[in-house]
Amino acid sequence: MTSEQRTAHFRMPEHLFAELAAGGGSAQAVAFLERGERARRLLLLRTLLDHLVALPTPLTPAAEAWRVLKEAAQRTPERVEALLLAPTTGAWIAHMLRRVHGTANGPPLWAEAGRLNALATVASLHAGTETLLRVALTDGALPLPGLGTARLPDGADGLTTGRASTRAGELTLTGPDRTGRPVYLTCRPAAEPIGTTESAGDSCWSPLRTLTHTTPSGPVAIPLEDLDPYRDLDDPLPPARLDADEALAWQRLFTEATEILATTGGTERPGRLDPAVIRSVVPWARTSLLPPPPPDVRVSASSGDSYGAMLISRPSCPLALAETLVHEFQHSKLAALIHLFPLVDDDRAERYYAPWRPDPRHLTGLLHGAYAFTGVAGFWRDRLDHPEHGLTASYHFALRRTQSRLVVRTLLTSGRLTGAGHSLVSGLARTLDGWLREPVDPAALARARLAAALHRTEWRLRNIAPPEHPEGGDPTRFLPDRAPWPDVRTHAFAVRPADPRTPDEHLAAGDPAAALDGYAEGLAREPGDPHLLAGWIVARGALERGPETRRLLARPELLP
């Protein structure tokens, strides 16, 4: 593969777009998105190389590093292509393009550009070719994308340069130690499945660990990326190596989560996922078993620059991880679609309500949320008849289908969708409209409606300023002192409390009168508290139906 390679024009078949617009996507549809991502990645790489060729550097020049990489690609094209299409490579390219255009910061530019030399070194190791490249070292370490990190014994602190030579799959790395004298390391770099004895305890080589996923055609290795500086889907950061026990916990949890996903069969419908399409999992924040993780995923993220990668804080519950894998891959699919089609004319103004966020969102963010949570709703729909999770699934399915349909309506009435965007969102609407007609356990449905109303009410109280002239049709004004707030009710309302004590628990248990009294008592102590006030408004709405109640639920910020 070369950067000059021309990609043939391709057009997405209508039936594949329809699958994706419905919120799902067959293996053929996902493969088409991957081809689009490949074309985009090569174009961005070509653009970056044009900037790097003339960059002054103490390292081997970019043109020579690229020649080494192309030579390796001729011998082992699949492995080198996988290297160039890896999520961390995409994140590096995007970061470097921001740097050369002055919109990002970092260490000396030549040092970050030296990532190309590391990529060429890895390509040479894959191909078994012989080469010598000057590379950038940080604290004596050289990250090798897709393999791990080599670290010189007693390597010099800070940013230095070294030499990486390869021969028949073996690496020899040389550079200065802390006294300035040359030291070297020789190893045969390779990623390793979790549970493998890591290089006989050699502290100079840290292999990339991989999660093993078993498929009918054999095992698939999915990187558990805790080393690469470009794993964070944004700016580079230092490694955060997981303890061996924490890595094993990830493998056990991932195995259970993929078994959950396997019970639903094919991937065409929304909410279904073949885990083999995941490019990497980036563990967030935790490096050891203690303290114990929460049952749900507290942080997850993905980036259009890093297709197939997902940053996740480990939960204790495999069902929560399975849901998050579906959620984040929905984001990857939509990002790939946005790279192929302009979907929305977005002025980036953050003024729209998103039922899963504490803050206003712009239209692109709103579209991402609708697409991701349509997939989440489908995930729970597949589990409605599960003997253990059926009631919980009923709640989450009812909640996410309602919230997603609300956002889809906002998108369709925004007047900012392109033709392709309108087709996509209309496809989501058809899926959700069909699901809204499906029966759900009445008690779970009631709690879901309450949770949706509580979130929207509290969001408006925390974000929307009362109009200066309530009857004058003033435009929406946002409060100047908005701050993030925790959504503690979405998950709390999933199960009916057996012994309700708090106002929220009384409301979730179906006793709005007791809840109203509790909220009123709380407001007497903390007047105007948005959390309590939202509960009071929703509980009152459950007891007193009529025009005034509907008006207050629609615009709670008007409350005197």
Q: What's the distance, CA 504 to chain centroid?
A: 31
**Where is pLDDT greater, at 558 or 144?**
144
Closest CA to 106 of 452, 97, 143, 72: 97
Q: Which residue has the tokens 């809840």?
A: 515
22 assigned to some structural domain: no
Residue 196 pLDDT: 80
Q: How confident is the model at residue 426 (pLDDT cuts 50, 70, 90)?
A: very high
- Please tell me the predicted confidence (pLDDT) of residue 215: 87
64 located within any domain: yes
Is pLDDT above 80 for 40?
yes
| pLDDT tens-digit series, residues 467-494 | 877 666 667 899 998 999 999 999 999 9
Q: What is the tens place of the pLDDT at every residue in 210-265?
A: 999 998 888 999 999 999 999 998 789 999 999 999 999 999 999 999 999 998 77
**Which run of H or E residues covers position 522?**
helix 512-525
Dist CA 423 CA 22 (whole Å): 10
Please check whether residue 11 lies inside any domain of the structure: no
Q: Are 427 and 444 in contact (CB under 8 A)?
A: no
424 with 554, same domain: the answer is: no
The number of domains in the chain is: 4
Per the CB < 8 A criterion, the answer to whether 344 and 416 are in contact is yes
Same domain, 139 and 75: yes
10 within domain boundaries: no
Displacement of CA 62 from its chain's centroid (Å): 31
186 and 88 share one domain: yes
Task: Give the pLDDT band (50/70/90) at residue 200.
Answer: very low
Domain coverage including residue 475: 446-559
CA 187 to chain centre: 34
Verify that 230 and 146 share a domain, yes or no.
Answer: no
460 and 328, same structural domain?
no
- Bridge partners of 221? 212
**Same-domain status, 92 and 172:** yes
Shared-domain flag, residues 60 and 144: yes
Share of the chain above pLDDT 90, in %: 90
In a domain, 8, yes or no: no
Q: What is the average per-residue pLDDT within 182-198?
A: 91
Does residue 135 sit in the same domain as residue 59? yes
Domain membership flag for residue 400? yes
Q: Is residue 20 part of a domain?
A: no
Among the three residues 420, 440, 460, which one is the final residue of a domain in this structure? Answer: 440
Least confident of 103-107, 343-347, 513-517: 103-107
Same domain, yes or no, for 42 and 176?
A: yes
Tokens, residue 293 = 């993780």
- Angle CA 334–336–342, to nearest 5: 80
pLDDT at position 233 is 80
491 and 426 share a domain? no
